[in-house]
Chain A
Amino acid sequence: MVRLLVMNKNYFLFIIKNAFSDLLKNKLRAFLTTLGIVIGVSSVVLLLAFGLGLKQYIADQFNNLGTNLVFVLPGQVFNRSGGFSSIRSSMTFEEKDFQNLKKAKKAIDVVPIFQKTTLVKALGKEQAATLYGTSDEIFAVRNLIPKYGEVFKKTDLEKKSKVVVMGPEIAEKIFDNQELAVNQKIRIEDQTFKVIGVLESKGGGGLGGPNLDTFLYIPYKTIFNITGKKNFTTFLLKAESEKDIEDLKKEAKEIMLKRYKEDDFSVADSKEIISTIQSIFSVLNMVLVGIGAVSLIVGGVGIMNIMYVSVTERTREIGIRRALGALEKDILFQFLFESILLSLIGGIIGLAISCLIVYFVRFFFPALIDIKSVFLAIFVSSAIGIFFGIFPARKAARLSPIEAIRYE
């Protein structure tokens, strides 16, 4: 290999030219050999791309619902084997916790949430829905924008107005038409509420994230007034920037520890929740990529096979080259370079095809090719060329020149 580095440019050019002219002599053979690698590399790169795309999609779904958020939840959210716990504590927080959390220095917004499933009655229909008793800041923190009508304001909260802002999905279900829902009356918990707005759709849900489109947003003081209980199920804290998240979590934890045991509540940021969901998909993706990589090995075996054929066919040529002064090393490089070229071209074509497929498919399905996949594809295909090319090349180099030149 040292020689490859120090040898002059002409020698290098000679080897490249040789390899190309040999490949061109056997176009069909070169095409079929490369095809194996093309298929293998594209399947691996595409599987990686889908895995990456899905991860990105999950993260986007969460970030779409507000960034730099810290959640204070009752009970332990994560269980020990890394998944979510199925016992979710029905413990609730109190007004006092809300006031305490507001004092957190790193929190620019603190939104209390009381969540409850309930029955909505309107136009003679009944529909189950999730009630979200909260403050007016929720709309800014969660990036919720009204599509029709408006969202409730601080004055609605203070006046304990019986107003409700609906998610688009639930509005559609009850009124069949989102626009017509505004200013209608609905009955929740035996009270009449006025619909003042319907929100823009946020999409999502399903992949672990909440589906905010199905929620009913009501000022929490209104709910307290009706139910007589003053409980919260979640607090949403917004940090100024990403670097404040850790500090805010620590602060929130200290505040909550004053009144609760460590096991009674959890403080989590969206990143933790996202990465828990993502890790489940990562495992599956790695298995798929691993199985896809088997085809690369099969492609490599194909290269090896064809290179052996090539060595046999060119035995006489090798003999003549050796007679004219070529060293064992020169012959080795000649054949090794050919196999590397075959698989590298296959890798690059496979990469190009994957890029093309991803380019079109990403409108329907999340897929993403990052720089790491590109390097991986090029690296793996060169490695396959070297690994499966070295044995035939060695066979060629070790042929006895006299025997070789006599070969018919």
Chain B
Amino acid sequence: MNYFYFILKTSLDDFKRNKLRTFLTSLGIFIGILSIILLNSLGLGLKQYLNNQFESLGANLLYIYPGSKKSIVRGGGLVGGIKFDARDFNQIEKINEVSEISPIIGKTGALAEVKGKEEIIDLLGANEKISKLFNLELEKGRLIEKRDCNKKSKVVMISSVLAKKLFGNTDVINETITIDGNSYKIIAVLKAKGGGGLGSDLDTHVYAPLSTLSLIYGEKKYPFIYLKVKNKENIDSTKEKITAILKKKYDENSFSVLDQKETMSMLDSIFNVLNFVLVGIASISLVVGGVGIMNIMYVSVTERTKEIGIRRAFGARKKDVLWLFLAESLFMCFASGILALIFAYLINMGIHYFLPSYIDFLTILMAIGTCSFIGIIFGVLPAKKAAELEPVEAIRYE
């Protein structure tokens, strides 16, 4: 215990003697580890945000997408993929376990306009089942009904968030909204689904009857079908039945039937790869910081050659000298790691209102672990040099 205390005190004394040097050396490690922690927490936050968004859509959902599972991960399948028609839809609708089902067509990045104010929205066309499928809750007005679909009425449901953005308040029933040059009447204001300011959140969705959009955009087929299964236990069997129906007509690789878990794990895997790449590139700076530590430790060994000689003459063993220097680099890295964690925590508190991000326990462990690792890896060579110095030569060194 005393030995440990002695080593710690010697390191601290040395730091105090060279304040600027200690500060700059730690700064390198600090920048590196801080960027890793921040990127990691952003990645984690984004993942969680997406998971929440999916969960708020309700359980037991199945999605039918064009393209194979592999190509969906790569973001393909949507452009030039197959589309489903009314016959496919009717066949799937007849499956016993299906409780709600709707074809979906969508236009992302459509322009909504109200009295000169503009917002980029995602326009979704679906049948009247959409409110049950997506767990949409009414704040004001009425939901899209079967008669709206039959009459191809130009009506839309918007979220309270979008209403506030465009009108300044949520009292907008029967107001007119122009989307891509076509006017629609607002019949419903939906309760906000929440989420951050990522732009692609559910609150930017505007729902219109499928038949209306089919007419306006001249599109009779649809790229997606979403459905709800009555019982959780039936998800897998329903998926098999749908696949069997669609396989008769389309190539097995040209469509996929996904449940929420799969969709989430796909998104997760995309984000994991992205996060991995980002953190990997950020760790380069940590290596550079480590090289900086090594450099300064070598300088320190040279400067303190005489001191080492005297310590050895007074009975310090090679091991003691090794520990003395290793502890110094380890201590610097460890301290920068802790400091970076505190900084990252403060930054997170500031930005988590705008961007989803959070620090989990694993990140803390990883940060401290990586720092100690860097301290040892880059500290051990200079420390060994110090330990291997010939005592007689060292004490004579000027």
Contact = CB atoms under 8 A, between A and B. Distances in A.
Contacts of B291: 32, 35-36, 39, 302
Contact of B281 (A32, A288, A305, A306): A288
B289 interface: yes
A203 interface: no
A33 B295 CA distance: 7
Given A32-B294, A292-B284, A86 B106 contact: yes
B23 to A, nearest CB: 9
Interface stretch (A8-16, A160-168, A293-301, A317-325): A293-301
A357 interface: no
A298 B298 CA distance: 18
Interface residues of B, number: 54
Contact of B217 (A81, A89, A308): A89
A37 to B, nearest CB: 8
A17 interface: no
Interface string A26-50: 0011001101100110010001000
A227 interface: no
B20 interface: yes
B24 A301 contact: yes
B282 A294 contact: yes
Contacts of B39: 291
A89 B105 CA distance: 11
B340 to A, nearest CB: 13
Contacts of A91: 218
Contact of B296 (A84, A299, A305): A305
A365 B375 CA distance: 35
B220 A208 contact: no
A308 B223 CA distance: 64
A254 to B, nearest CB: 21
A81 to B, nearest CB: 3
Given A33-B295, A86-B223, A305-B292, A43 B284 contact: yes
Interface in A60-95: 75, 79-91
Given A294-B32, A299-B288, A128 B250 contact: yes
A377 to B, nearest CB: 15
A308 B296 CA distance: 11
B137 to A, nearest CB: 26
A99 interface: no
A39 B378 CA distance: 15
Interface in B26-54: 27-28, 31-32, 35, 39
A117 B285 contact: no
A216 B228 CA distance: 37
A294 B24 contact: no
Interface string B50-80: 0000000000000000000000001010111
B8 interface: no
Given A90-B221, A291-B278, A305 B25 contact: yes
Contacts of B120: 80-81
A92 to B, nearest CB: 9
Contact of B251 (A89, A128, A288, A308): A128
Contacts of A119: 249
B243 to A, nearest CB: 14
B244 interface: no
A81 B31 contact: no
Nearest to A292: B281
Interface string B199-218: 00000000000000100011
B109 A83 contact: yes
Nearest to A91: B218
Given A80-B109, A90-B219, A291 B288 contact: no
A85 B78 CA distance: 10
A80 B277 CA distance: 30
Given A39-B284, A89-B217, A291-B281, A298 B292 contact: yes
A83 B108 contact: yes
B77 to A, nearest CB: 11
Contact of B298 (A29, A89, A127): A29
A47 B291 CA distance: 21
A117 B82 contact: yes
B21 A81 contact: no
B359 interface: no
Contacts of B219: 87-90
Interface string A204-218: 001010100000000
Contacts of B114: none
B282 A308 contact: no
B287 interface: yes
14 contacts: A32-B295, A39-B291, A87-B107, A89-B219, A91-B218, A127-B251, A128-B251, A263-B181, A288-B278, A291-B282, A294-B285, A298-B288, A299-B292, A305-B24
Counting from the closest, the 7 A-B pairs by CB-CB distance are A128-B251, A81-B109, A295-B285, A302-B292, A32-B295, A305-B24, A79-B109
Interface of B: 20-21, 24-25, 27-28, 31-32, 35, 39, 74, 76, 78-80, 82, 105-111, 120, 180-181, 213, 217-221, 223, 249-251, 254, 277-278, 281-282, 284-289, 291-292, 294-296, 298-299
Given A29-B298, A39-B291, A291-B282, 10 more contacts: A32-B298, A36-B292, A79-B110, A85-B108, A86-B108, A117-B254, A302-B295, A305-B296, A306-B296, A309-B296
